[in-house]
Amino acid sequence: MLVSKEGNFVQELIVDERVRAVDALSREAAMVLWRLLGTSAPLAAFANSPLVFVPGLNALPLLASAAARNANAIKLSEEDQASIETVKGILSIVGILDTSTGVTRINAQAFQGLSTSTFSGARVTSVQDVTTIAREIGPISPQLAEGVAGLTQKFAQKLVASMMRRLAEDLEGDMFFPGRPRLL
């Protein structure tokens, strides 16, 4: 079973790939936000005023000032770029992304008709269909639930570890104080 409690190689592979994809997409979002924050001159100017010493008011202006001084502090690795391209490719194949015009856009037509579901290729349109599906899944649902819970836990642990590693690397680097001397 793909989602067994014990786990297997395929589960590990799926979890690892999902972690890479989510990590890369969140890294890309952080990079865009960091650069946007760096272009907000009013916030950066506020960092030079006496109000910056007021607790609670100073976090955003100080971050904007740091982002303005070092816009490229958050970068995507080659692995991140490859993961993002893989996600875009998958979304393109399933019809969610439209790249036919050279510009990547979300295909709104892909979301039409989502009010009716499918299970094993059969359309689910009534309560009787749901009851039939429940009877089919019933015998394996305890194992399925345990497997899904295990996969979710592995995914969350690996994603948090990956993001913490990235944060430590960013804070160790020149994100806030570009050009500062290294202690070690």
| Number of domains the chain contains | 2
Helices in 2-120 by DSSP H: which ranges? 9-38, 41-46, 59-69, 78-93
End-to-end CA distance of the chain: 49
In a domain, 21, yes or no: yes
pLDDT band at residue 16 using 50, 70 and 90 as cut-offs: very high
C-alpha triplet 106, 26, 83: angle, nearest 5°: 70
Instruction: Using a pLDDT cut of 90, give the percent of the chain over it.
Output: 20
Q: Which residue range forms the structural domain that includes residue 105?
A: 80-110
Q: 61 or 163: which carries more pLDDT confidence? A: 163
CA–CA separation, 96 vs 99, rounded Å?
10
Residue 133 has pLDDT above 60, yes or no: yes
Tell me: pLDDT of 146 over 70: yes
- The mean pLDDT value for 108-135 works out to 63
Please indicate, yes or no, whether residues 31 and 90 belong to a single structural domain of this protein.
no
* Residues 99 and 140 reside in one and the same domain: no
* Residue 180: pLDDT over 70: no
pTM for this one? 0.68
- Which residue has tokens 């979710």? 152
pLDDT-derived band at 92 (thresholds 50, 70, 90) equals confident
Q: Are residues 41 and 124 in the same domain?
A: yes
Greater model confidence, 148 or 155: 155
Provide the 3-class DSSP secondary structure of residue 74.
coil
pLDDT at 110 over 70: no
3-class SS of residue 118: strand
Burial track 29-49 (b if 16+ CB lie within 10 A, e otherwise): ebbeebeebbebeebbebbee
Three-state SS at 32: helix
Statement to judge: residues 119 and 106 lie in one domain: no
Per-residue pLDDT at 41 exceeds 70: no
Same-domain status, 142 and 164? yes
Task: Kindly state whether residues 66 and 131 are assigned to the same domain.
Answer: yes
Taking 80 as the threshold, does the pLDDT of residue 74 lie above it? Answer: yes
Q: Are residues 62 and 104 in the same domain?
A: no
